[in-house]
Amino acid sequence: MNATDSPAKLLTPVLSTFWDQPDAWTLETYRRHDGYEGLRTALAMDPDDVIAYVKEAGLRGRGGAGFPTGMKWQFIPQGDGKPHYLVVNADESEPGTCKDIPLLFANPHSLIEGMVIACHAIRSSHAFIYLRGEVVPVLRRLHEAVREAYAAGYLGKDALGPGKDLELTVHAGAGAYICGEETALLDSLEGRRGQPRLRPPFPAVAGLYACPTVVNNVESIASVPSLMHKGKDWFRSMGSEKSPGFTLYSLSGHVAGPGQYEAPLGVTLRQLLDMSGGMRKGHRLKFWTPGGSSTPMLTEEHLDVPLDYEGVGAAGSMLGTKALQCFDETTCVVRAVTRWTEFYAHESCGKCTPCREGTYWLVQLLRDIEAGKATLADIDKIDDIADTINGKSFCALGDGAAAPIFSSLKHFREEYEQHVNGRGCPFDPAASTVWADKTAHLEVKA
C-alpha cells in the first residue's frame, strides 16, 4: 500500500459493501450480495476441513486479542459426547469501539451465516448471540434476521444436514462492561453475576454449562462467510502475512470524517486521515487510541504505524478493536484519563482486590490532580497503583485500567505536572466540543 493511493484502492468494503442499500438488513438484500453462498460451500465440506481452511486463511479474532479463529475452533474436543456451544460476543462496550453495532444494524445476516458455518465446523447444535442490552435497534433487527433465517431453513430442523438441527438464541444483556470478557460473559449467560472465571479450564474444554464452547467476536464470525465463498487466497491477498484480511476501522473524535472504514489490516492512521479529510479544520492530532481505551494511547509520531496486530504491538500498544479515537490539542489528557478511570472503577466487577480497590484509588487521586489539589508525589502514586493492578487480576479489565495511566504518563507527564503546579486544569473544555469552532448557527429541529 502506498500513502498516495486513492481511497478506492486503499479501502476494501466487504462486510460494509451494501450498507447503503435502504433495506440492507434483510435476507433478500443479503442474498443479492452473495449471501449464504459461503454456507453452501462450507456445508459441502467435512467439518474438520472447514476448521483447517479457516486456519489456513489466517483469520484472527477481531474482538481485541487477535487469537487465530480456526485454532479456537480446533481446540473443541470431538467425539466427547457432550453438547458443544457457539457463543458470539456482541457485548461491544469498550470505550471507543463502535464496529459490531453498526455491522449488526446493517448486515445481521453475515453474522448468522458465519454462525451456521462455525456450528457445522465445531459440531454444535445450539448457538447464542450475547448482545449488550443497551442497543434496542440492533436487537430488533437480530430478532427479525433470526426469524428470516429460520423461515428459510438456514436455522432449525436439519439446518446442518439430515438429522442435524441448529438452534440460535438471541440473548440481551443488562448493562455490564465486564460481560465482554469471555468467561464473565459465560457466567452472565448462565444467569449469574458477570464475573470472570479462573482459567484453565478454558472455555474450549469447560465453557457454557461446563461444556466445550467457542466464544468469538461478532466481526470474526461475520468475516467467515465471504472467506468461504471467495476463498482463502482472496482473503490472504489483503493485509500482511501474519495479519491477513480486511477489517473495520472506526474513526472517531476530532476528525473531519468520523465513521467506519473497512480496509486491509496494516493501513495506517495517516492514510485513513488523509482520505477522510484529516483532523477537524485548524487543529492537530494530540493523542489517539488504536483499539479502545484499554489499548495504550499513541501520539502524532505513531501516525505511520501499520494498524495490524504486529505493527501496533511493536509500537508499544495493541490493535484491540481498531477503535481509532482521535483527540486534538484542545483536549486535556488528565481529563480524558480521569474519565476512563471512572469508567473502569464503575465497571470493575469487584472479584479481584487489585482491580476493585486500585481503580477506586486511582479515581480519587486523578480527581485531585485534575482539580489542582494534588502533589507531585501523587503522580508517582498513580503510576505505582496502576502497576499494582496491571497483570494481577483474573481478567484484562485491570490491565485495561492501567493502560491509559501508563501511556499518558509516558507521553504527557508534564501535563500532569502542570495541573499540580498550576493548581488546576489549564484547558477549556468548551474548546473541545464539536460546536466550538462553528460560527453558522442553523436551526436544528430535533
Residues 279-308 that bind another protein (CB under 8 A): 293
CA–CA distance, 261 with 280 (Å, rounded to integer): 17
Check the CA dihedral 223-176-82-125 and report its sign.
negative
DSSP label at residue 225 = H
> By rule CB under 8 A, what count of residues binds another protein?
116
The dihedrals phi and psi of 37, each to the nearest 5 degrees, come to -75, -40
For another protein, the binding residues in 155-184 under the rule CB under 8 A are 169-177
- The verdict on 251 binding another protein (CB under 8 A) reads yes
Binding piece for another protein, criterion CB under 8 A, among 64-72, 243-251, 382-390, 409-417: 243-251
Considering only 223, 250, 393, 408, the residue that binds another protein (CB under 8 A) is: 250
- The verdict on 20 binding another protein (CB under 8 A) reads yes
- The verdict on 432 binding another protein (CB under 8 A) reads yes
Least distance from another protein to the Cβ atom of residue 369, Å:
11
Cβ–Cβ < 8 Å for 244, 236: yes
Considering only 50, 228, 263, 298, the residue that binds another protein (CB under 8 A) is: 263
Binding piece for another protein, criterion CB under 8 A, among 57-65, 152-160, 227-235, 430-438: 430-438
Considering only 16, 220, 407, 408, the residue that binds another protein (CB under 8 A) is: 16
Q: For residue 392, what are the β-bridge partners?
A: none
Cell 471467495 locates to 230
Helices 333-347 & 397-421, crossing angle to 10 degrees? Answer: 140
- The verdict on 81 binding another protein (CB under 8 A) reads no
Binding piece for another protein, criterion CB under 8 A, among 156-164, 228-236, 392-400, 426-434: 426-434
CA 136, 141, 144: angle at the middle one, nearest 5? 125
- The verdict on 440 binding another protein (CB under 8 A) reads yes
- The verdict on 262 binding another protein (CB under 8 A) reads yes
Q: Which three cell numbers stand for residue 26?
A: 434483510
Considering only 115, 119, 185, 275, the residue that binds another protein (CB under 8 A) is: 275
- The verdict on 96 binding another protein (CB under 8 A) reads yes
Measured from the CB atom, the residue of 74 and 107 that comes closer to another protein is 107
- The verdict on 406 binding another protein (CB under 8 A) reads no
Q: For residue 212, what are the β-bridge partners?
A: none
For another protein, the binding residues in 98-127 under the rule CB under 8 A are 98, 100-102, 105-106, 126
Cβ–Cβ < 8 Å for 87, 197: no
The site string for another protein over 325-364 (x = CB under 8 A, - otherwise) reads x-x---xx--xx-xxx-xx-xxx-x---------xx--xx
Least distance from another protein to the Cβ atom of residue 38, Å:
21
- The verdict on 421 binding another protein (CB under 8 A) reads no
Measured from the CB atom, the residue of 302 and 351 that comes closer to another protein is 351
Collapsing DSSP to helix, strand or coil, 342 comes out as helix
- The verdict on 192 binding another protein (CB under 8 A) reads yes
Give percent helix, percent strand, percent coil of the chain, each to the nearest 5: 45, 15, 45
Strand ranges for 116-166 from DSSP E: 126-131
Measured from the CB atom, the residue of 154 and 343 that comes closer to another protein is 343
Considering only 97, 223, 243, 268, the residue that binds another protein (CB under 8 A) is: 97
Measured from the CB atom, the residue of 74 and 197 that comes closer to another protein is 197
Considering only 209, 300, 417, 421, the residue that binds another protein (CB under 8 A) is: 209
Measured from the CB atom, the residue of 54 and 363 that comes closer to another protein is 363
Q: Which three cell numbers stand for residue 17?
A: 459493501
CA–CA distance, 280 with 437 (Å, rounded to integer): 9
Considering only 95, 239, 244, 354, the residue that binds another protein (CB under 8 A) is: 95
Q: Which three cell numbers stand for residue 409?
A: 504518563
- The verdict on 370 binding another protein (CB under 8 A) reads yes
CA–CA distance, 303 with 294 (Å, rounded to integer): 19
Beta strand 167-172 pairing with 213-217: unpaired
Q: What is the dihedral of CA 259, 222, 169, 101, to 10 degrees?
A: 0
Cβ–Cβ < 8 Å for 359, 345: yes
- The verdict on 377 binding another protein (CB under 8 A) reads no
201: preceding bond cis by omega (within 30 degrees): yes
200: preceding bond cis by omega (within 30 degrees): yes
For another protein, the binding residues in 382-401 under the rule CB under 8 A are none
Q: Which three cell numbers stand for residue 328?
A: 486534538
Cβ–Cβ < 8 Å for 292, 64: yes
- The verdict on 434 binding another protein (CB under 8 A) reads yes
Least distance from another protein to the Cβ atom of residue 130, Å:
10
